[in-house]
Amino acid sequence: MFFIDRLDLDRHLQKLRDDLESRGGISDDLRGWSWNKDSRVKPLSELKLPVSEVTHRYCPTYRDIYLKRILHIKAPPTLKTIRGIAYHEVFHEANLKVKQFIYASKIISGGELLNEYMPKLDDYVSEIINRSEKRTVKLKDEERGILKRECYVLYRYLLIQAAARIDSTLSKFKYANQESIASEVVPALSERKVDGSLVGFSKELSVDLYTPFNAIADLKTGETRDFHRHILAAYALAIEASERIAVDFGMIIYVKVDLDRYVPYFDLDCFIIGDELRIEAIEFRNKSFEILTLGKDPGKPAVCPDYCPYYTHCNPSIVAQKILEHG
């Protein structure tokens, strides 16, 4: 992970390991591999849902699930949605380009990586925005301009960090080969596909980062939400069920780009994917299945959070009133 300080990460994980030990570990019947036993993990239905639909709990009554799956109404994409897609593409592509450079070039300074890719960065970013728009909606010119600058800053930062990491590896290890340089510079495993069907999730889940330290990570571009940790709890259950590998720790990496200073900021939320979080994620899943099995509108909560993707759909009169008030 060339965008996260390794020492910082080690420090966080060591602390979590100690905490987990003092808590006495994680209950076996809340591990994904207990899916076929009489356990709390075992799905009570044959239904399968994407982790995002189950865990993005904007709506306390689960009306979002009813609207999407029973009435087939999609939430309108927002700039935040497109930003999320575009940032993920930047991470994915920068990672790929760094690997391509390491394996295709002679063992050479990261400065050459910058010489090769920086002149084409503007084109790479335009293609990423085009692809993100194709998956969602066309942005207004001003929004497009801002997002393009953000993606440019993020992409450039990632390449510069990777170039510096290549140089420090070459300088430290005189006989490093391509394989060892790659393992120093890019994540050991990144963007992993996981089969979540054994625990009631979709067959092809994408985990943003999968590390060799029993930890998984998710990149987030928006505000901090309580349910972000549950997303990783659901992924942990899926990985444990399909691969029988223990996933004990989660990291949410919040990314923000500062367009005044031309740098991104990374905030790390590191936590144990412990019993409580697992139980809550399983409750989200079970309740979602219940909504689909009943097929009835669960109604609205007393107050809808205005950041819910269905806010405009469920609250047309409030939205119309706000438009009137603000001209």
Binding residues vs ligand SF4 (CB under 6 A): 58-59, 61, 63-64, 300-301, 304, 308, 310-311, 314
Shortest Cβ distance from residue 322 to ligand SF4 (Å)? 14
| 200 Rama sector, left if φ>0, alpha if ψ -120 to 50, beta otherwise | left
Distance CA(167)–CA(262), nearest Å, equals: 23
CB of 25 or CB of 222, closer to ligand SF4: 222
Shortest Cβ distance from residue 75 to ligand SF4 (Å)? 8
Distance CA(298)–CA(326), nearest Å, equals: 32
Structure token digits, residue 13: 């994980």
CB of 219 or CB of 308, closer to ligand SF4: 308
Distance CA(224)–CA(228), nearest Å, equals: 7
**DSSP track, 126-189:** HHHHHHHHHHS-PPPHHHHHHHHHHHHHHHHHHHHHHHHHHHHHHHH-TT--HHHHHHHHS-SE
CB of 61 or CB of 286, closer to ligand SF4: 61
Helices vs. strands in the chain: H and E counts, helices first: 12, 5
Give the type of residue at 305.
P
Shortest Cβ distance from residue 50 to ligand SF4 (Å)? 16
Shortest Cβ distance from residue 316 to ligand SF4 (Å)? 11
CB of 91 or CB of 310, closer to ligand SF4: 310
CB of 40 or CB of 68, closer to ligand SF4: 68
Shortest Cβ distance from residue 139 to ligand SF4 (Å)? 23
